[in-house]
Structure 1
Amino acid sequence: MSEHWLQAPVWSWNNTFQYEPTYVHHWIQPLDENENTPDMILYGAPISRSSISVSGASLYPAEFRTMWKGFATYNLDEDVDLTSFNVADAGDVAMHTTDILLSHHRIQESTAYLVKRFPQTVTCMIGGDHSTTACAVRGIKDVHQNESIGILQLDTHLDVRDPAELGPANGTPIRQLIDGNTVKGKDVINIGLHGYFNAKPLIDYAKEHGIQMVTLKQARKQGLINTVQDALDKLSAKVDRIYVTVDMDVLDIAVAPGVPASTPGGMTSTELFDILLEIGQHPMVRHIDFVCLDPSKDSSTADTVKTGVYAWLQFITGCVLQN
């Protein structure tokens, strides 16, 4: 359990800032295991070879960090300064050049290492394609074998395609976890499904295994905040910890040019921001990831990468409000 594959990120800012941090790149510090336990540990899983379609999502962890310079640590809307929340950057999991299974195993081992070494710390993984979620959840389960894990999934897709057909690809993580008895189908809630993007056999699998599907139309009708609160309450009543996975393709294609699988009819960025503020305030949420953002397909002004950083900061704001 002591082995991990974390290495310094490809891109990181010089953190020798001498004054009170006012921007994110001054605030986030590299993980120092000899210092106090951080409130959150950030780490990257830069893989996209396991994507069904061509994707440069492996580039996102580095681009995510470069965008920090454009964001202050103060949230004007909530009147909150984030610097009281200690976020440490553990770097990126080293990916094998060609071996997808080995890379996935390294993500699992590195996640297990962080969760065991820092049991009170929230973990946040930046993907990478959505295959990384199955690896991270298995790593958590390796450490907490007697605990049940619930998954709140924000996604346009169910991600229950058959690994026997596709291998451990980005369309398969939820099925991997259910078929592997890592999580129970009834402990998975997906919010954001809509339209014509899940074939009926996948719906049938979800129904058979008790996955709770909340369409975006339903969520909007009852209110997205109410929907998320209800989902978190349901999971909290029956699991020991909650893992949130944010597939950025939950966003509407009009606001997410850098997400290869984004679709018409998805969430607005504001809807996603509001949801993540709510999720961050829930004490049972111990793990989160953000996946499937491809900077190489983004606009010239990196609109989607900026949206991804904003979404992450909204979750952290929720964590600060919780405390």
Structure 2
Amino acid sequence: MNLRHLKPAGQAIFNDRHTTKVKELLTPWREGINHDFGLVGAPLSKPSISHSGAAQAPGAIRAALQSYSTYSAETGIEFTDQIIDFGDLNMHPTDIQGSQHRIYEGLADVYATDAAKYWMVLGGDHSISYSSIKAYAADKTIGVIQFDAHHDLRNTEDGGPTNGTPFRRLLEDGIINGINLVQLGIRDFTNARAYHQYADDNGVSVYTMKDVDDQGIMAILEKEIERLSGRVDEIYMSVDIDVLDQAFAPGCPAIGPGGMDSRTLLQGVRFAAVNPLVNVMDIVEIDPTMDFRNMTSRVAAYVMLEFMKAKRV
């Protein structure tokens, strides 16, 4: 029987012969296949201090890629190469630290495939960055550019390895050096004095939102990347979406006023990613269950596009 006017579920609502959506570039990994971009999800949010459904973010961000075409009118670039999608790491239903270790082991395996030149990791809450950076830094000295409203330097004695502790743990475990960590967008009335002092004591470069407003995101990044370039082998970029003002990211567990606008974040990501030392990025702290019209997941998908565009310029 010939069934008319049907299409497979999940395909684009409208098909235009001249338009390709970014989501169509996602392709499962197969051994021996190499492309420029690799993608993996780390769907963990149980270590979050506040209620969070960020475990659902990798799927929501992938779905948001359907909102964007593969053509950049600003540059004339057309994305045609496939994005290798390794899927999501499997989390333990109750063991938080076990899940964090799974992320470390799983990403170590993924990075070791050398299947991509550039990597994008989709969290999950910010606790996943500890595992990802630890895996990536196994054989190299790593610098970190952290877009964030928070220091994420909380102690582990009061709550274990939460989403507020990843950079404290990285410093204490000797995985990164404090002078190789740059924090951008730290927001007023959002952190404790003790953690700001801890950052100062460990040589962390901290730029508040006032610094970003006064100096400009690209001027700060230019200075810090130049400084890091003489000290590290590569730079890991960690994008906590709560660096954005709540008007631009309603789907964040820790929303608040006074943050970046989305254009500033996108400019910063693109500017940093142009540098050949910046080859890996994670995007964290999106809760699709709290989002409005997928606004926050769409920002995250656009962050991916700016990262990819920077590597094509």
Which of the residues 111, 129, 132 maps onto 2:128? 132
Unpaired runs of 5+ residues, structure 1, are 1-11
Percent of counterpart pairs with the same letter? 33
Contact 2:142 2:234 in 1 (8 A): yes
Please give the secondary structure, in 2, of the residue aligned with 1:83.
Answer: coil
Secondary structure class of the residue paired with 1:256 = coil
Contact 2:38 2:120 in 1 (8 A): yes
Distance 1:208 1:119 in 2: 39
Show CA shifts across 1:169-225 (max 9, x none).
000000000000000111100011121111100011111111110112112222211
Name 1:30's counterpart in structure 2: 28
2:295 pairs with 303, 310, 315, which one?
A: 303
Q: How many residues align?
A: 302
Structure number with greater Rg is 2
> Compared with structure 1, are the counterparts of its residues 161 and 213 closer, same or farther at alpha carbon in structure 2 (3 Å cutoff)?
same
TM-score, with length taken from structure 1: 0.89
Partner of 1:5: none
Aligned counterpart, 1:315: 307
Q: Does the alignment pair 1:174 with 2:167? A: yes
Q: Compute the TM-score of the two structures, normalised by the length of structure 2.
A: 0.92
1:156–1:197 Cα contact (<8 Å) kept: yes
Distance of 1:20 and 1:293 partners within structure 2:
32
Give, in angstroms, the shift of residue 14 of structure 1: 6.8
Paired residue for 2:55, among 36, 51, 58? 58
Tell me, in whole angstroms, the C-alpha distance in 1 between the residues paired with 2:92 and 2:275: 36
Cα pair distance change 1:20/1:42, threshold 3 Å? farther
Q: Distance in 1 between matches of 2:145 and 2:90?
A: 27
Q: For residues 245-269 of structure 1, give each alpha carbon's deviation from its aligned partner in whole angstroms, at most 9, with x where no partner exists.
A: 0000000011111011122110001
Give distance in 2, aligned partners of 1:40 and 1:268. Answer: 26
Tell me, in whole angstroms, the C-alpha distance in 2 between the residues paired with 1:168 and 1:38: 34
8 Å CA contact retained: 2:84, 2:116:
no
1:276 aligns with 269
Aligned to 2:67: 70
How far has the Cα of 1:127 moved from its partner?
Answer: 0.2
Q: For residues 31 and 21 of structure 1, what CA distance do their matches in structure 2 show?
A: 24
Q: Structure 2: how far apart are the matches of 1:118 and 1:41?
A: 9
Tell me how far 1:110 sits from its aligned partner: 1.3
The 5-angstrom pairing of residues 95-244 of structure 1 reads: 95-118=91-114, 121-142=117-138, 144=139, 147-244=140-237
Can you give the 5+ residue segments of structure 2 that lack an aligned partner in the other structure?
A: 1-8
Q: Classify the secondary structure of the residue corresponding to 1:118.
A: coil
Q: Which residue of 1 aligns with 2:78?
A: 81
CA contact (8 A) 1:126 1:291 kept: yes
Code of the aligned partner of 1:132 = I
Q: Note the alpha carbon deviations across 1:149-181, whole angstroms, 9 max, x for none.
A: 111000010000011221110000000000000
Give the 3-state SS of the residue equivalent to 2:104 in structure 1: helix
1:105-151 CA-to-partner distances (Å, cap 9, x unmatched) read 11101111122220762221100000000011111233x1xx21111
Kindly indicate whether the alpha-carbon contact (under 8 Å) linking 1:259 and 1:294 is maintained by their aligned counterparts in 2: yes
